[in-house]
Amino acid sequence: MRELIYVPVIHSEADMGSLAGPHKKEFTDQLGVCVWNEHIQAVDKMWEGISKRLGKLDVEHANLRIYQDGLPLCGRELDIVRDVAAQGSQNHRLVLSLVQRGAFLEGTEDVQLLLEEYHFIQAITREHGPGEKHRKAKSLGNKRKLLLRRRDHFIAQRIDKTLKEGETGILFAGMAHQVDKYLPKDIHISYLIFRLPFSKLRPAGNL
Amino acid sequence: MTCKILVVDDEPEFCRLLASVLTEMGHQVSTASGGRQGLAKIRKNPPDLIFLDIKMPRMNGLECLRRLRKFKRKFVIVVMTGFGDIQSAREALRLGAEEYISKPFDLDDLKQLVNELVRELAGAA
């Protein structure tokens, strides 16, 4: 039996690396610092809850494999997680703590596909003004959706190849992903959801 | 601020428990045992905040949410589920729910959530 705990998450700016700065500026320019702070608090609470629930699971860490959306298969997975955790990502801090307790970290995504996604996001953030950004995002919509499905397909294949009999995987993936659609039937999926604060995160465009 | 809260859930025990916690917090609480009864109560006496279970017989929470979108008045809706899954979460998000929480939840977490939503409602008033 292979088990996968699917943790749908809403990413925070700290997970976004070099794109975090422009995103924050755009957000505070449009909606103000107070709404920004509420947004940050909501993300923090979501991660506290996920962390608490994961802590209650009765699993042997040595049998755990961690999969993380946005984490390329490149041989430097742990360095990347350490870096992003040091930049304040609660998601990556949690991944790091699981690894430190004995879980195995797997490179999850295809580098080429992640680069394509990065170029899409850059193309949108380069535009000036919310109207232009919205138009650009709309014009790229279908291509981005298609790219997301290719990424999901790759992640599912990666899990299928690496998750062994008797092991449990934990996949942290953003709400837009649909990795579960592509997983083989012999992997039993359970979902770990604490709280998804849609209203606080909608204005940030994280959804 | 005192809020009018409606709890829609087909499990009477859970409805009673949630209602007693929310009443203790100072809110006016009513309950409905299913989607149809919930919609009838909302039409008759519109609440400020709705706790809506997803898995209910006859009319489930997502269908109820779909119908609520047709109402002129907008409601703050917290979708609850005992069987959290990504598909229903995506659907709840698409249909405009404010929050998606999975059961069972800690009472402290629940109280914190209600206080946050009440503060937002007070700010929007």
> Is any Cβ of chain A less than 8 angstroms from the Cβ of B59?
no
Inter-chain CB proximity B86 and A6 less than 8 Å: yes
Comparing A83 with A39, which gets the higher pLDDT?
Answer: A83
Give the pLDDT of residue B123. 75
Interval B98-114: pLDDT, tens: 989 988 888 888 898 89
Question: Can you name the residues that pair with A2 across neighbouring β-strands?
Answer: A187
Interval B42-53: pLDDT, tens: 999 999 999 999
Determine the angle formed by the axes of helices B12-24 and B107-124, rounding to 10 degrees.
Answer: 60
| Average pLDDT value for residue range A127-138 | 71
Q: Is the pLDDT of residue A148 over 90?
A: yes
Token representation of residue A28: 């505070």
Region of A81 on the Ramachandran plot (φ > 0 left; ψ -120 to 50 alpha; else beta): alpha
Interval B70-80: pLDDT, tens: 888 889 999 99
> Is any Cβ of chain A less than 8 angstroms from the Cβ of B121?
no
Domain boundaries, chain B: 4-124
> Is any Cβ of chain A less than 8 angstroms from the Cβ of B74?
no
Interval A88-116: pLDDT, tens: 899 999 999 999 999 999 999 999 999 99
Model ipTM?
Answer: 0.79
Smallest CA–CA distance from B92 into chain A, residue: A198
pTM to 2 decimal places:
0.82
Q: Tell me how many residue pairs between chain A and chain B have CB atoms under 8 A apart.
A: 49
Lowest mean pLDDT among A22-36, A169-183, B5-19, B24-38: A22-36
Q: Is the pLDDT of residue A71 over 60?
A: yes
Task: Indicate the fold that domain B4-124 takes in CATH.
Answer: Rossmann fold (3.40.50)
Question: How many angstroms separate the Cα of A176 from the Cα of each of A9, A62, A149, A205, B46?
Answer: 9, 30, 10, 12, 33
> Is any Cβ of chain B less than 8 angstroms from the Cβ of A34?
no
Q: Which letter does DSSP use for residue A72 in this model? A: B
| d(CA B94, nearest CA chain A) in Å | 10
